[in-house]
A and B are shown apart, each in its own frame.
Chain A
Amino acid sequence: MSKHTLAVLVENSPGVLARVASLFSRRAYNIDSLAVGPTENPDLSRMTIVLNVEGHVLDQVMAQVYKLVNVIAVSEMPSASTVHRELLLVKVATNKIAEILEIVERFDAKLVDEEDQALTIQCTAESAHIEALLKALTPFGIKELVQSGLVALERGTAALSDRTLSAQGISTLHEIGTQADYQN
């Protein structure tokens, strides 16, 4: 099993999130996170889905997602060629404000609210960085936290919407699957 990030361009139509979510549930693919929002084109929304699957299953997931009529493109976002970011908002209940501020600075995070020994911190970073920040804050008592789920964008000039023009969206299957994968 390994982590993969998929970018999914969908028509901005009612029920499309339910279709994607229902597909993952029905075919028993586990989602780590799913983030969805509007894009540069008001007719389209973009989902970023992080999932943990075996090699050949990824091809299956992509093909099944692409089969949904409202899905326009599916692409894997390898970490080497894409920018991955997550947003974290975390509330820490402590009176050790100086120590917290030191951590905030060290992790390039931001203090966004402070009230009655409750400090709300914002951090936008890659997943590992967020995890490390949370680990550092845990001893002080995390009261509440919320995460956006990962979003990803390809580096360079390429854009997912350009690639929607290829007839199949996923016309060539990945080379990840091998016969051995199936003997389980």
Chain B
Amino acid sequence: MSKEMTGASSLVKSLEAAGVDVMFGIPGGAILPAYDPIFDSTIRHILVRHEQGAGHAATGYAQVTGRPGVCIVTSGPGATNLVTALADAQMDSVPIVAITGQVPSAAIGTDAFQEADIRGITMPITKHNYLITDPAEIPRAIAEAFHIASTGRPGPVLVDIAKDALQKMTIFKYPTKIQLAGYKPQVEPDDEAIRDAAALIARSSKPVLFVGGGVIKADAHKELMRLAELTGAPVVTTLMARGAFPDSHHLHLGMPGMHGTVAAVTALQKADLLITLGARFDDRVTGKLSSFAVNAKVIHADIDPAEIGKNRYADIAVIGDLMYTIEALIPAVELEFKKNKPDLAAWWRSMDSLRKTYPLGYAKPEDGSLSPQYVIERIGAISGPDSIYVAGVGQHQMWASQFVKYEKPRTWLNSGGLGTMGYAVPAAMGAKVGAPDTTVWAIDGDGCFQMTNQELVTCALNKIPIKVAIINNESLGMVRQWQTMFYESRYSNTSLQSKFIPDFVKLADAMGCVGLRCERPEDVDSVINEAMSINDQPVVVDFRVFKDAMVWPMVAAGASNDEIMIARGLAPDWDSQEL
């Protein structure tokens, strides 16, 4: 039965029909009509303190649950404050749906109060977006938004709704069918491409399974495990794919890229075949593109045809959902292996030698101060692989990707593509809402933390007990590291003085959280255990760490991966390696 109601009620009913259980937002003038029916809805609305927080929380929720995250904000500044979160979700292919209020349709284009052309602004940073001025179109737009956000290559979709469309009366009817003539993601891979890929795998003696975030998006980690064990090929997981394959598995060489392991970087460089699964040849992985994996053929499997050949020529393109693709690849490879199974022994001798000679590691600070890597390593060890770890952007992010050991998908969240400082606290909040029974650690920097920590108020008031480890090196650490290396240690504007101001313990306390501090290596475990024991309130730990620690290994921006350094001025001893 359809019944007449306001566009606002139709919106809320549509969101309920789309299966939304929680949304993050802040009301304001243009979206106000929607907040009246939200008051009565079964959907939990979490009132955040800044719209960017709503956006990243939606992302955190989506990354953990695999379902679209939802945020709702008002027009103008409310909408523009979402821009960073939308760009972030677009770069990392995260399904979120953003609802924005817009000024009344008659006022659009008049530079009205709190007017911003958010559809125009977000065109290049959303998968798709809508401007709705007719209340009758609301249910269809919402249904399409959820469909587009969560299918194909996931991404953010924004629905901008004029205030008068929310106020006018309309008939609510949620569509049972969606017609999108121009949107037909290919789910099942082409048989011939699968056969060609399998044949190439059977002919290659130095293959690498180059795993990207798409494997996690497609929930294809089990299929990946079977393919890896079938082929016996080394596996590397990109920053977005940490957790797609267990770190403890003997086939895993770790993360490739600018701060990847020597073994993972070299595996890609020296391979004769890259079996690329949901990775996009980002510059942080390839280094200088023209010298990246020069002897490798490339199988590129991705759901997005536009990724094929964007950065690197693909010898074989397999378009499709990775779960179907890997599922199809397994029997095809088995069939080829009956004819010929390549011997990877020599390849593995090289890789084993590299990972044995150049494991991830760090030097303890000589002055006895706290090592940031040690803190992060201990958090991972004590909290364990069932916890969710959410990082900001910078040195702490790289250390969290290196020194926490991931065993499961959707336990590592970070801003990979956009590199959004300030991602951690709000994304951890969204993650905790999506997985309330799981321990969620935000591993944040003191710079990042000061960009978005206001959401701890939201966490405290809404009983979202996340744990935040501030890796406080009192500076913009990664920028400082670049200044050390490339700007003769001229530290222009990277000192934040955050061991002086603010007092993070008092700040945490003021925001209704438990604030703890740790300054000595011998206290690390007890402070982490204390944080672990508090589950009714958010906890913030100010870990005051050595500020000159650096992230290694490193391939300098724009340099070839062959020029990987394991410490300052120190390259691996290639002559002693058989490659």
Whole-angstrom CA separation of A170 from B306 in the bound complex: 10
CB-nearest residue of chain B relative to A59? B309
Q: Are B182 and A11 in contact (CB under 8 A)?
A: yes
A151 vs B304: C-alpha distance when bound (angstroms): 29
The answer to whether B306 touches A63 (Cβ under 8 A) is yes
Q: How far is the CB of A139 from chain B (nearest CB, A)?
A: 45
Assess the A69–B127 pair: CB atoms within 8 A. yes
In the bound complex, residues from chain A placing their C-beta under 8 Å from that of B180 are 69
- Segment of A12-20, A83-91, A99-107, A129-137 engaged in the interface with chain B: A12-20
Closest Cβ of chain A: how far from B188's Cβ, in Å? 10
Point out the residue from A15, A70, A177, A184 that lies within 8 Å of B182, measured CB to CB. Answer: A70
A60 interfacial contact with B, CB 8 Å: yes
Which listed residue (B119, B308, B313) contacts A178, Cβ 8 A? B313
Is B124 within 8 A of A22, CB to CB? yes
* Size of interface on A: residues with Cβ below 8 Å to B: 35
Asked if A64 lies at the interface with its beta carbon under 8 angstroms from chain B, I say yes
- Interchain CB contact under 8 A, A66 and B305: yes
Instruction: Report the Cα distance A60→B281, complex, angstroms.
Output: 14
Q: Which of B120, B128, B186, B309 lies in contact with A167, CB distance below 8 A?
A: B186
Distance A64 CA – B313 CA, assembled complex (angstroms): 16
In the complex, A64→B309 CA distance in Å? 12
Beta-carbon contact of B148 and A69 below 8 Å: yes
Taking a contact as CB atoms under 8 Å apart, the answer to whether B119 and A15 are in contact is: yes
B43 at interface, CB cutoff 8 A: no
Separation of A23 and B126 alpha carbons in the complex (Å):
12
Q: Which residues of A contact B290 (CB under 8 A)?
A: 182-184
Say how far A44's CB is from chain B's closest CB, in angstroms: 9
A4 at the interface (CB under 8 A from B): no
Q: Contact check, A71 vs B306: say whether CB atoms are below 8 A apart.
A: no
Contacts of B273 in A (CB 8 A): none
Cβ-closest chain A residue relative to B315: A179
Minimum CB–CB distance from A28 to chain B (whole Å) comes to 12
- On whether the beta carbons of A167 and B182 are closer than 8 Å, the reply is no
Query: Are the C-beta atoms of A182 and B183 separated by less than 8 Å?
Result: no
Query: Which residues of chain A from 9 to 64 have a CB within 8 Å of any chain B CB?
Result: 10-11, 14-15, 18-19, 22-23, 26, 56, 59-60, 63-64
Contacting pair A22 B123 (CB below 8 A)? yes
- Provide the bound-state CA to CA distance between A64 and B307, in Å: 9
Binary contact track B179-202/A, C-beta < 8 Å → 1, others 0: 011111010000000000000000
Q: Which residues of chain A are near B161, meaning CB under 8 Å? A: none
CB distance from B334 to the nearest CB of A (A): 27
List the A side residues contacting B312 at CB < 8 Å: 182
- Say yes or no for B319: interface residue by CB 8 A criterion: yes
Give residues 131-184 of A contacting B (CB, 8 Å): 164, 167-171, 173, 177-179, 181-184
Q: Is A72's CB under 8 angstroms from B317's CB?
A: no
User: Measured between alpha carbons, how far is A169 from B305 in the docked complex, in Å?
Assistant: 11
Contact A63 B124 (CB under 8 A): no
Set B131, B184, B186: member contacting A15, Cβ < 8 A: B131
Q: Is B168 an interface residue (CB 8 A)?
A: no
Check B309 against A177 for contact (C-beta < 8 Å): yes
Min C-beta distance of B186 to chain A, whole Å: 6
A68, CB-defined interface residue at 8 Å: yes
Instruction: Identify which of residues 117-159 in chain B touch chain A, using a CB-to-CB cut-off of 8 Å.
Output: 119-120, 123-124, 127-128, 131, 148
Which B residues lie within 8 Å of A70 (CB)? 182
A168 touches B182 (CB 8 A): no
Q: Is B310 positioned at the interface, with any CB of A under 8 Å from its CB?
A: yes
Please tell me if A3 contacts chain B, counting CB pairs below 8 Å.
no
Residue of A nearest to B312 (CB): A182
Instruction: Name the residue in B148, B186, B309 with the highest tally of chain A Cβ atoms < 10 Å from its Cβ.
Output: B309
Alpha-carbon distance A140/B433, docked complex (angstroms): 75
Closest-CB distance, B311 to chain A (whole angstroms): 8
What residues of chain B lie closer than 8 Å to A173, measured between beta carbons?
Answer: 305, 308-309, 317
- CB distance A68 to B308 under 8 Å? no
In chain A, what residue has the closest Cβ to B307? Answer: A63
Known contacts A70-B182, A168-B184, A56 near B309 by CB under 8 Å:
yes
CA distance A177 to B403 in the complex (A): 40
Q: Which of B290, B305, B317, B319 has the most CB of A within 10 A?
A: B305
A167–B313 touching, CB < 8 Å:
no
| B305–A170 touching, CB < 8 Å | yes
Whether, in the assembled complex, B479 has its beta carbon less than 8 Å from a beta carbon of chain A, the answer is no
Q: How far is the CB of B321 from chain A (nearest CB, A)?
A: 13
Q: Which of A66, A69, A177 has the most CB of B within 10 A?
A: A69
- Whole-angstrom distance between the Cβ of B91 and the nearest chain A Cβ: 13
What residue in chain A is nearest B181 (Cβ atoms)? A72
A70 to B289, CA, bound (A): 32
Query: Which listed residue, B182, B305, B306, B319, touches A72 by the CB 8 Å rule?
Result: B182
Interface centre among B123, B181, B182, B308 (most CB of A within 10 A): B182
Q: Which residues of A contact B310 (CB under 8 A)?
A: 60
Give the docked Cα–Cα distance between A167 and B127 (Å): 19
Cβ of A16 to closest chain B Cβ, rounded Å:
10
- On whether the beta carbons of B184 and A167 are closer than 8 Å, the reply is yes
| Cα distance A10–B186 in the bound complex, in angstroms | 19
Q: Which residues of A contact B308 (CB under 8 A)?
A: 59, 63, 173
CB contact between B313 and one of A23, A68, A169, A179 (< 8 Å): that residue: A179
A182 CA / B124 CA spacing, docked (Å): 25
Contact of A177 among B127, B181, B313 (CB under 8 A): B313
Query: CB distance A64 to B306 under 8 Å?
Result: yes
Chain B residues near A67 (CB, 8 Å)?
A: 304-306
The residue from B186, B305, B315 contacting A63, defined by CB atoms under 8 A apart: B305
Q: A11 to nearest B CB, angstroms?
A: 6
CB distance from B51 to the nearest CB of A (A): 23
Residues of B288-318 whose CB lies within 8 A of A? 289-290, 304-306, 308-313, 315, 317
A-B contact pairs, 24 of them (CB 8 A): A10-B182, A14-B131, A15-B120, A18-B123, A19-B123, A22-B123, A63-B305, A64-B306, A66-B182, A67-B305, A68-B182, A69-B127, A69-B182, A167-B184, A168-B184, A168-B305, A169-B182, A170-B305, A173-B305, A173-B309, A173-B317, A177-B309, A177-B313, A182-B311
Chain A interface residues (CB < 8 Å from chain B): 10-11, 14-15, 18-19, 22-23, 26, 56, 59-60, 63-64, 66-72, 164, 167-171, 173, 177-179, 181-184
Which 3 A-B pairs rank lowest in CB-CB distance, beginning with the nearest? Answer: A63-B306, A69-B128, A72-B182
